[in-house]
Amino acid sequence: AQSVTQLDSHVSVSEGTPVLLRCNYSSSYSPSLFWYVQHPNKGLQLLLKYTSAATLVKGINGFEAEFKKSETSFHLTKPSAHMSDAAEYFCVVSAVRAGTASKLTFGTGTRLQVTL
Amino acid sequence: DGGITQSPKYLFRKEGQNVTLSCEQNLNHDAMYWYRQDPGQGLRLIYYSQIVNDFQKGDIAEGYSVSREKKESFPLTVTSAQKNPTAFYLCASSIGLINTGELFFGEGSRLTVL
């Protein structure tokens, strides 16, 4: 079984200030973790992914996330928010049991608002 | 440009009618997926297909049907048996098994039942 919890449904930051979107996961197997971004009425786009290599993962548009096994967390950060970062962000976990197809489990999303 | 095309973008349906949402990809991906998105919820998997002429139910398949006659196409039919069909529907594809890499999404189809 696997699950993912996004701790904040809505985050508001000022332009130029840091962004922190929090994600905790649970998994019976070694997980792969992803962050996706969705702009209004659009599909999702992959920001970054962790697949058991380096624990600090860098993605597009200046975002990065750190996999912390001891805390079962995969928080998304960005040093300086831009107005174009305003969107909904989804944390996703995929855990594989040998010999079976994997399954993605999506969090409920965090809406990021960026103000002037 | 390669990508996934969903149509129509907006669709209105009367209760009791079946509707079909189109999904076409030119990425040469083997796997395709349909997700449903409701406000305040994550995406939920309806159906997925890893090869032509084969597909599997996801978590919420009741009231939906799919076909995969061609690699490029994976249409979704929302039947009258679906009790609450108003939602945003997203089609996605991947090179192979979804744990190996990213999903590529279309821009979605918003279905409203009147």
Mutate to test the interface with B, among A104, A105, A111 (most CBs of B within 10 A): A104
pLDDT digits (tens, 9 = 90+) for A51-96: 877 899 999 999 999 999 999 999 999 999 999 999 999 999 887 6
pLDDT at A30: 80
Type of residue found at B105: F
Closest to A103 measured CA to CA, from B59, B52, B68: B59
C-alpha dihedral sign at A34, B26, A87, A47: positive
Between A45 and B98, the higher pLDDT residue: A45
Cβ A59 vs Cβ A19: under 8 Å: no
pLDDT at A69: 92
Angstrom distance (rounded) from CA B99 to CA B97: 6
pLDDT at A29: 79
SS3 A12: strand
Closest to B80 measured CA to CA, from B19, B16, B30: B16
pLDDT at A62: 96
Measured between CB atoms, does A50 come within 8 Å of chain B?
no
Measured between CB atoms, does A32 come within 8 Å of chain B?
yes
pLDDT at B107: 94
Whether residues A108 and B41 touch (CB distance < 8 A) is answered with yes
Query: What is the pLDDT of chain A when averaged over all its residues?
Result: 91
pLDDT digits (tens, 9 = 90+) for B55-94: 999 989 999 999 999 999 999 999 988 889 999 999 999 8
Give the N- to C-terminal CA distance of chain B in Å, as an integer: 35
A27's enclosing H/E stretch is strand A23-27
Whether residues A41 and B107 touch (CB distance < 8 A) is answered with yes
- How distant is the Cα of B21 from the closest Cα of chain A, in angstroms? 15
pLDDT at B11: 94
Residues paired with B92 in a beta bridge:
B33, B105
Nearest CB partner across the interface for B102, out of A4, A41, A46: A46
Nearest CB partner across the interface for B42, out of A49, A94, A108: A108
pLDDT exceeds 80 at position A7: yes
Give the count of Cβ contacts less than 8 A between chain A and B: 56
Residue ranges of alpha helices (H) inside A1-116 are none
- Residue labelled with tokens 């624990």: A55
User: What is the average pLDDT across A25-44?
Assistant: 89
pLDDT at B87: 95
User: What is the average pLDDT across A93-102?
Assistant: 63
